[in-house]
Amino acid sequence: MKDQSIWYLENVDVTNIFCQNKMADNQEAHTVKTFKKNEYIYMPDQASDKIYFVAKGRIKVGTYNESGKEITKALLNKGDVFGELAIIGEETRRDFAVALEGSDICVVESEKMKGLMKDHNNVSLFFMKLMGSKVLEMEQRLESLVFKDSRTRIIEYLMEMVEKRGQRVGYEWVVRNFITHQEIANLTATSRQTVTTILNELRTKNILTFNRKRLLIRDMDQLKGEATQNV
């Protein structure tokens, strides 16, 4: 399976841009900040003037609806970029970003990033494709909510995790740092109980196994078949 990580959309060394900037005229373009578990990187209505790169750890990006219920937009891992709307005119944040574990985040001021984009076309192209990819991902999630049942949404999310973060081990696929059942429920607009029931069902069928640290897919083809049963 081909790695579908956003970083392979364009041949850009994102790590060097954000955390080990080797461009002679931009040595001070970034800072590295450490966030503790459950510490917020930014909150709604705060100034949107920085771009963030996950050097270590795990980040949740989400928002709150009118009744105050939390809605998870994305779970981010090492290598992911967030807060990129700052470079296209967002003045204040509409969402929040919080560390799910101890995390190191490289922070670049949006004005400095605009300068990098002006001087380096590949950086501009990278951000164009990053934003386009996120729009497509949100459209796919919306279509899934409208046209697919909860079981299919959960299974397809597991497949997406494997495509983005999975490592092949023989005939099997492993995803390390497996997320909680509640996090899967938040991302698929289902309940934690439904996620647990479906994961246990798939484990009983010997399609996968899991614990708090990893997800192991024993038969990817069979998992794909489960996703199409109710489509």
78 pLDDT above the threshold of 80: yes
pTM: 0.74
Asked if 122 and 68 count as a contact pair (C-beta separation under 8 A), the reply is no
Domain spanning 6-138: CATH 2.60.120.10? yes
What pLDDT shows up at residue 141? 78
Q: What share of the chain is helix, strand, coil (3-state, %, to 5)?
A: 40, 25, 30
The pLDDT tens digits of the residues spanning 29-71 come to: 568 899 999 999 999 999 999 999 898 999 999 998 888 788 8
**pLDDT confidence band for 204 (50 / 70 / 90):** very high
SS3 145: helix
84's tokens: 């990129």
196 pLDDT above the threshold of 60: yes
The pLDDT tens digits of the residues spanning 96-119 come to: 999 999 999 989 899 888 888 888
Asked if 83 and 97 count as a contact pair (C-beta separation under 8 A), the reply is yes
Cβ contacts of 219 within 8 Å, gap of 6 or more: 206, 207
DSSP state of 94: S
- For the chain, what are the domain ranges? 6-138, 148-227
Nearest to 177 by CA among 189, 166, 193, 163: 166
According to CATH, the topology of domain 148-227 is Arc Repressor Mutant, subunit A (1.10.10)
Q: What whole-number percentage of the chain has pLDDT above 70?
A: 86
What pLDDT shows up at residue 17? 60
Asked if 34 and 104 count as a contact pair (C-beta separation under 8 A), the reply is yes
What pLDDT shows up at residue 208? 95
The pLDDT tens digits of the residues spanning 137-183 come to: 878 777 777 788 999 999 999 999 998 888 998 889 999 888 899 98
- Between residues 79 and 205, the one the model is more confident about: 205
